C-alpha cells in the first residue's frame, strides 16, 4: 500500500488488520508535511502528540481491542475548530496563543472513531475569504501549481489532502469554503445539511450558515468521515435530530430515473468556457447512466451573493464581538499609553489584532445592523433569503438533485483578486445559495483546465439528502476515473 | 456613498480602531460593495417573513443540569493577565 495516496478506508483496514501500524501511517504523513509545508503552508500547527496517539492505538489493536472505523487515519483539522490542548488560531493574530480547554464535538467523534489529529490547517482569517490569502500566518499555495491560490477559506485543508499530507481533513463552509477549495485542489468536499454536524467548538463566523464537513480524495472516504461526525448534539441546539444513515454502505451507483435539474442561472455568461466544458462532460455521464436531465430556473440565484454578504457580515459582527482582550486572545500593550476609557481598551486590542478583511466585514455587518439601515439591509436580505429558500424547496419537488459548477473558473493566481473585494465576493456566486437555504452540496473532481488546474462539479440536494450527493458523486468519480496527483506526491 | 466619518462612526460602534488609511480605503470599498448589493432592494418582499435560520426545525433543549467543565485554572489559562482566581485588566483612565 502506498501510504500517502491510499484512501482512508484502505488505511483503516490495513491498520486494523496490522498490515501497517498506525505509527507508520502517521510518520509517513508527518514526513510529507515536513517536505511540503515550507512551500505550501497548509498547516499552522502540527500535533506533536500524533505519534504517541498512534502508538497507543497500535497497542490497543495488538491487544485485540476495537480500534474504530477510522483506526489510525490521520485527519487534519481546520484551525477554525477547537482542539483541546492544541493551539487554535482561526488564522488570526487575535487567537495567536489560544489553547482551547475543550474540543469541538466533531473532533471528539473523530478521535472516538480511531482517527489521529495530525495538525491544524491554514485558512482565511476567521474563515473570511475565498483564497487563503487573508491568513495572519502567511498564504497557502495550490499543490498543482504553487503560483495559484488553493481557494478558501478551508484552503489549508484542501492542500493537505491534495498534497498527500493527510488522507482526510475537516473544513468549514459558510459560503462555499469547503466546496470551492476542494474544486480548486481536485478533491472531494461536502458541505452537509445545516444541522447535520454539531457546531459546538467550531469558532463561529455566521451561525445560521456555518457547517463543518469532510474533505477527502474519494467520495467513499467523504461518506465514511461524514457518518462518523454527524448527529444530534446536546451542546448545539441547532444540530438536527435526524437519523444518520450509513452512507458509505448504501452507495447506489444506479442513477436510472434520477431527476437531475440544471439551473440555467448556473450556466449564464459569467461561466468560463473550460469550466462549462467540464460540467457538460459530467452531464453526459449522468445522461448515459440513465438520469433524467431537465433545465430549471432559480431566478433569485443572482441575489445570493449580496444576500449572503449582508447576512454573513451581520452575524459575524455580532459573533466577533466576543474578542475583547479580557479573558483570552490578543490584548494591546497599555503599559506606556493607558486607555482613556473602556471603549479605547477594546478598540485598540481589536484594531491591532484583526486583519483587513475581518475589519471590512465587521464594519459592513455593523453598518447593515445599525439603526436606520437595518430595515434596508439585514432585514431585507433575510426576507430575500426566505424567497430564495422557497425557490430551492420548489425545485426539489421537480428534481432529486441539481448539478452545476462550483465556481466560474479554476483557481486564480495569487494576488490577482486580493485588492478588489467585490471581485473576490463574486467568486461565491454558485456556492452561497446552499448555505442560505441550508441544503447540502458536494464538489467532485471533474477534470482539468488547459493549464493543468483542477475543476470541480457541484451537486446540490434537498435537506438531509446527502445520500443522493454521494451516489451521483460516486458515479462521476468512477466514470471519469481521474488518477492524476500533484507532483509533490 | 459611505463617508470616512460614517466609517469612523460604525467602527466605534464595533469597537474597532482604524488607521486614517484604513478608514479611507474602507469608505471607498464599502461604497462600492453596497452599490453592488443595491439590487436586493428591487426584490418584492412585501409580506415575507425574514428567514433567520435555514431549516426552521424546532431547536432541542438539553436538561438544565450543571456538569463539571473545568475549573478556574482552565478558565484562566488563556487570560492575557491573571491574578489569583481573577482576570486582570489594566487601569482605565476615564
pLDDT, one tens digit per residue, over A98-154 is 999 999 999 999 999 999 999 999 999 999 999 999 999 999 999 999 999 999 999
β-bridge mates for residue A202, sequence order: A81
Scan residues 427-456 of A and list those with Cβ closer than 8 Å to B.
435-438
Subunit contact B40:A303, Cβ cutoff 8 A: yes
Residue predicted with more confidence, A332 or A424: A332
| Cβ–Cβ under 8 Å, residues A380 and A369 | no
The number of residues making up chain B comes to: 94
> Could you say which of A195, A235, A356 has the minimum Cβ distance to residue B57?
A195
Q: How far does the CA of residue B9 sit from the closest CA of chain A (Å)?
A: 9
β-bridge mates for residue A259, sequence order: A292
* Residue in chain B lying closest to A195 (CA): B55
pLDDT digits (tens, 9 = 90+) for A373-421: 999 999 999 999 999 999 999 999 999 999 999 999 999 999 998 888 8
CA dist., res. A361 & res. B53, Å (int): 20
pLDDT at B62: 87
Subunit contact B70:A425, Cβ cutoff 8 A: no
> Could you say which of B18, B41, B90 has the minimum Cβ distance to residue A359?
B18
Q: What is the mean pLDDT of chain A?
A: 97
- Confidence grade of residue A423 (pLDDT, cut at 50, 70, 90): confident
Q: Does A417 touch chain B (CB under 8 A)?
A: no
The complex's ipTM works out to: 0.96
* Grid coordinates belonging to A394: 420548489
- The yes-or-no answer on residue A78 being catalytic is yes
**Catalytic one among A153, A166, A230, A349?**
A153
> Could you say which of B32, B48, B81 has the minimum Cβ distance to residue A383?
B48
**Three-state SS annotation for A25-47:** HHHHHHHHHHHHHHHHCCEEEEC
Cis peptide before A153 (omega within 30 of 0): yes
- The yes-or-no answer on residue A35 being catalytic is no
* Grid coordinates belonging to A220: 467513499
Q: Does A237 touch chain B (CB under 8 A)?
A: yes
Residues A342-354 have a mean pLDDT of 97
CA dist., res. B8 & res. B30, Å (int): 12
In the β-sheet with A116-121, what is the strand arrangement from edge to edge?
A43-46, A116-121, A74-78, A168-173, A211-216, A188-191, A441-448, A454-461, A401-405, A259-263, A292-296
For chain A, give the percent of residues with pLDDT over 90. Answer: 96
Residues A209-225 have a mean pLDDT of 98
pLDDT digits (tens, 9 = 90+) for A243-296: 999 999 999 889 999 999 999 999 999 999 999 999 999 999 999 999 999 999
Q: How far does the CA of residue B80 sit from the closest CA of chain A (Å)?
A: 6
* Grid coordinates belonging to A483: 488518477
**Catalytic one among A177, A314, A317, A443?**
A177
pLDDT at A418: 82
pLDDT at B38: 94
- Confidence grade of residue B94 (pLDDT, cut at 50, 70, 90): low
pLDDT digits (tens, 9 = 90+) for A150-200: 999 999 999 999 999 999 999 999 999 999 999 999 999 999 999 999 999
CA dist., res. A271 & res. A284, Å (int): 18
**Three-state SS annotation for chain B:** CCCHHHHHHHHHHCCCCCCHHHHHHHHHHHHHHHHHHHHHHHCCCCCCCCCCCCCCCCCCCCCCCCCCCCCHHHHHCCCCCEECCEECCCCCCC
Residue A239 has pLDDT above 80, yes or no: yes
Residues A46-50 have a mean pLDDT of 97
- The yes-or-no answer on residue A318 being catalytic is no
pLDDT at A157: 98
Subunit contact A326:B50, Cβ cutoff 8 A: no
* Residue in chain B lying closest to A332 (CA): B80
Residue A480 has pLDDT above 80, yes or no: yes
> Could you say which of B43, B87, B92 has the minimum Cβ distance to residue A384?
B43
Residues of A in contact with B66 (CB under 8 A): none
Q: How far does the CA of residue B35 sit from the closest CA of chain A (Å)?
A: 10
For chain A, give the percent of residues with pLDDT over 70. Answer: 100
Amino acid at each position: 500500500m502506498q501510504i500517502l495516496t491510499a484512501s482512508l478506508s484502505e488505511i483503516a483496514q490495513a491498520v486494523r488488520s496490522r498490515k501497517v501500524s498506525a505509527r507508520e501511517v502517521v510518520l509517513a504523513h508527518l514526513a510529507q508535511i515536513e517536505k511540503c509545508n515550507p512551500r505550501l503552508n497548509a498547516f499552522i500547527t502540527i500535533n506533536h502528540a500524533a505519534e504517541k496517539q498512534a502508538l497507543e492505538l497500535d497497542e490497543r489493536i495488538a491487544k485485540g481491542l476495537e480500534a474504530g472505523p477510522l483506526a489510525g487515519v490521520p485527519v487534519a483539522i481546520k484551525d477554525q475548530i477547537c482542539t483541546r490542548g492544541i493551539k487554535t488560531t482561526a488564522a488570526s493574530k487575535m487567537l495567536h496563543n489560544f489553547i482551547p480547554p475543550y474540543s469541538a464535538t466533531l473532533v471528539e467523534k473523530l478521535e472516538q472513531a480511531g482517527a489521529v489529529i495530525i495538525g491544524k490547517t491554514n485558512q482565511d482569517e476567521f474563515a473570511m475569504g475565498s483564497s487563503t490569502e487573508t491568513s495572519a500566518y502567511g498564504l497557502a499555495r495550490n499543490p498543482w501549481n504553487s503560483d495559484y491560490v488553493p481557494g478558501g477559506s478551508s484552503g489549508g485543508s484542501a492542500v493537505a489532502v491534495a498534497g498527500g499530507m493527510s488522507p482526510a481533513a475537516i473544513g468549514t463552509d459558510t459560503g462555499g469554503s469547503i466546496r470551492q477549495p476542494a474544486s480548486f485542489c481536485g478533491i472531494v468536499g461536502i458541505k452537509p445539511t445545516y444541522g447535520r454536524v454539531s457546531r459546538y467548538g467550531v469558532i463561529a463566523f455566521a451561525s445560521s450558515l456555518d457547517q463543518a464537513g469532510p474533505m477527502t480524495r474519494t467520495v467513499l472516504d467523504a461518506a465514511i468521515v461524514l457518518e462518523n461526525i454527524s448527529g444530534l448534539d446536546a451542546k448545539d441546539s441547532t444540530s438536527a435530530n435526524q437519523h444518520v444513515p450509513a452512507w458509505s454502505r448504501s452507495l447506489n451507483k444506479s442513477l436510472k430515473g434520477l431527476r437531475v435539474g440544471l439551473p440555467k442561472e448556473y450556466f449564464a455568461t459569467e461561466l468560463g468556457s473550460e469550466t462549462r466544458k467540464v460540467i457538460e462532460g459530467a452531464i453526459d455521464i449522468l445522461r448515459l447512466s440513465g438520469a433524467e436531465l431537465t433545465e430549471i430556473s432559480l431566478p433569485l440565484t443572482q441575489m445570493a451573493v449580496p444576500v449572503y454578504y449582508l447576512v454573513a457580515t451581520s452575524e459575524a459582527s455580532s459573533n466577533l464581538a466576543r474578542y475583547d482582550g479580557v479573558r483570552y486572545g490578543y490584548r494591546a500593550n497599555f503599559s506606556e499609553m493607558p486607555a482613556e476609557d473602556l471603549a479605547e481598551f477594546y478598540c485598540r486590542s481589536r484594531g491591532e489584532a484583526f486583519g483587513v478583511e475581518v475589519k471590512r466585514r465587521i464594519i459592513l455587518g455593523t453598518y447593515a445592523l445599525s439603526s436606520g439601515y437595518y430595515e434596508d439591509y439585514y432585514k431585507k436580505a433575510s426576507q430575500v433569503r426566505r424567497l430564495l429558500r422557497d425557490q430551492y424547496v420548489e425545485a426539489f419537488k421537480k428534481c432529486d438533485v441539481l448539478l452545476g459548477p462550483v465556481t466560474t473558473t479554476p483557481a486564480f493566481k495569487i494576488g490577482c483578486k486580493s485588492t478588489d473585494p467585490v471581485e473576490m465576493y463574486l467568486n461565491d456566486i454558485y456556492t452561497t445559495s446552499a448555505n442560505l437555504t441550508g441544503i447540502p452540496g458536494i464538489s467532485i473532481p471533474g477534470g482539468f483546465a488547459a493549464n493543468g488546474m483542477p475543476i470541480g462539479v457541484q451537486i446540490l440536494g434537498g435537506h438531509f439528502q446527502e445520500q443522493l450527493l454521494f451516489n451521483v458523486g460516486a458515479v462521476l468519480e468512477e466514470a471519469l476515473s481521474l488518477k492524476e496527483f500533484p507532483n509533490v506526491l | 456613498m459611505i463617508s470616512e466619518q460614517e466609517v469612523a462612526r460604525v467602527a466605534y460602534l464595533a469597537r474597532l480602531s482604524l488607521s486614517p488609511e484604513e478608514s479611507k480605503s474602507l469608505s471607498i470599498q464599502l461604497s462600492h460593495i453596497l452599490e453592488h448589493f443595491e439590487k436586493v432592494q428591487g426584490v418584492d418582499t412585501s409580506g415575507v417573513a425574514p428567514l433567520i435560520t435555514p431549516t426552521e426545525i424546532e431547536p432541542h433543549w438539553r436538561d438544565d443540569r450543571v456538569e463539571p467543565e473545568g475549573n478556574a485554572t482552565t478558565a484562566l489559562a488563556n487570560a492575557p493577565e491573571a491574578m489569583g482566581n481573577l482576570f486582570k485588566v489594566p487601569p482605565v483612565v476615564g
